[in-house]
Structure formats: C-alpha cells, structure tokens
Structure 1
Amino acid sequence: MIDLETLRPAVRTAWGADTCDPHDMPNWHPGNPARGQCGVTALVVQDLLGGDLILGEVFAGDTKAGYHYWNRLPDGREVDLTADQFHPDEVVVGGEVQHRPPDAPRRARRQYELLRQRVLAALD
C-alpha cells in the first residue's frame, strides 16, 4: 500500500516543464518545479490514495490570478503537494470539492498521463 510519505518524493521528482499546465508554462522554472503542477498532481494523488479533489481560487492582491487544486484524503486530511509554488503575494481562498469525470482529464491530459507514468515507475 502506498502512503503519502512514499508518494511525495516520487511526485516531486516526476515534475518537469513537460508536466506543467500549459497556462502556467511561462512561470515554470527548475527553481520552482511545483509551479503549474497542481491539477495533474492532485489527480495522480487521488488515483493512488483516493479522496476528493479540492479547487480554490488564487489571488494576487485583489486580482484573481487563477485556480488551485489539492486533495482531501479519505481520512479527512488535506494535502497540497504543490503549495510551495506560490509567491508571497499569492493567496489561495475557498476550496470546493470537485467531482472528477470518469475518464482522464481533457485539459492537460498529456501532462497528467506523463506525470502518472513517471510516478508509477518511481514507485515500482
């Protein structure tokens, strides 16, 4: 059985420019590898540990800057493996459970499949 402490390093080493959400690509760099990885990471965590996907909004000051995904595990713990991507002026607010479609995601599907493949290989 996979646990969070085993999964965390496998996910972090699997991130790359090629797993970044295309919308966030201009802000991704090796010094901030979590940038743009929240959606695909939350899906992979859910694949392996179960639970819920949570979606909040990101604000930079008073300006809405985007959205952010993280997980609520079956035991109720909230886990955000990409929380360190944010700059000091960026704040995540809210958080609503999102129902996942039964198929792979339409948005960033290639990135999700690549990240999932890398994580599974690292855990093997």
Structure 2
Amino acid sequence: MEKKIDEIMKVLLESWSIESSSKWSKDNPAKGQCGVTALVINDIFSGEIRKTKLPGGWHFYNFINKERYDLTASQFMENITYKDLLSNREEAFADTNAKQYNYLKQKVSSAFN
C-alpha cells in the first residue's frame, strides 16, 4: 500500500492546481486540497474518510486498512493532533465542489490508466 500511496502522491503534486482548489498556490500546492483529495483517494482505495478540527475548520483525510493517510498535511506549518473522527463523502464534498472534484478525479484517474 505504501508504494501505491507514494505513486499517487507524485500524481497529486502534479495535479493539484487552482482548478482543484481556489486556495492552491505554487508555494503551498496542498492548501485547500483536503476534501477533494480525500474523496478521490476514497474512490480509488475505499476505506474511510476521517476528519480533525483545526483552527481553520475541518481537515479531511483517509483511513485505509486501519492506517491514516493524510496526503495534504504538508499545507500546514504546525503539527496536527489527529482526532480521527469518522466522516463521510457528504462532509468532505462540502469542502469542495463538483468542478474541482471532477477535475482532480480525471487527472488522477488518467495518470493510473
């Protein structure tokens, strides 16, 4: 699983853009990408979407095979104290929109096909 996550992380770094989050910047490509990324990772690997409350709001990430995968943690300067609260696709989708989700899903899917 770690090898697959490493591969998908490379794809995400190349795919994240202003098209996948209005908060994106070259200096911080993971910024604002947590909800949309958690959804796309959930599409590919299933598992669960989890969340933790941070000063800026909810932060979403994935739990797969009893392991936490937070592929957007690099957007934060401080360490995250994870609460690992169970979330769902609806909550994560509230952090994005259909255009951003479809863009990222297409970019990631095409890289793996």
Deviation, 1:117, is: 0.3
1:30-54 deviation per Cα after TM superposition (whole angstroms, max 9, x unaligned) = 1100000000001111100110000
1:73-84 matches, cutoff 5 A: 73=64, 75-84=65-74
Contact 1:56 1:94 in 2 (8 A): yes
1:2-47 deviation per Cα after TM superposition (whole angstroms, max 9, x unaligned) = 9222212112211001101x4xx2xx31110000000000111110
Q: Is 1:96 matched up with 2:97? A: no
Contact 1:57 1:92 in 2 (8 A): no
Q: If the length of structure 1 is used for normalisation, what is the TM-score?
A: 0.77
Higher strand share: 1
Overall identity of the aligned pairs, in %: 30
Q: Is 1:110 matched up with 2:78? A: no
Q: Kindly tell me the number of residue pairs found equivalent between the two proteins.
A: 109
Contact 1:53 1:71 in 2 (8 A): yes
Point out 4+ residue stretches in structure 1 off by more than 2 angstroms.
90-95
Q: What residue identity is the alignment partner of 2:98? A: R
Match in the other structure for 2:12: 11
Distance 1:92 1:18, change over 3 A: farther
- SS class of match (1:113): helix
Contact 1:53 1:98 in 2 (8 A): yes
Gaps of 5+ in 1: 60-64
1:47-66 deviation per Cα after TM superposition (whole angstroms, max 9, x unaligned) = 0011000011112xxxxx21
RMSD: 2.2
- SS class of match (2:83): strand
Match in the other structure for 2:43: 47
Match in the other structure for 1:32: 28
Q: If the length of structure 2 is used for normalisation, what is the TM-score?
A: 0.84
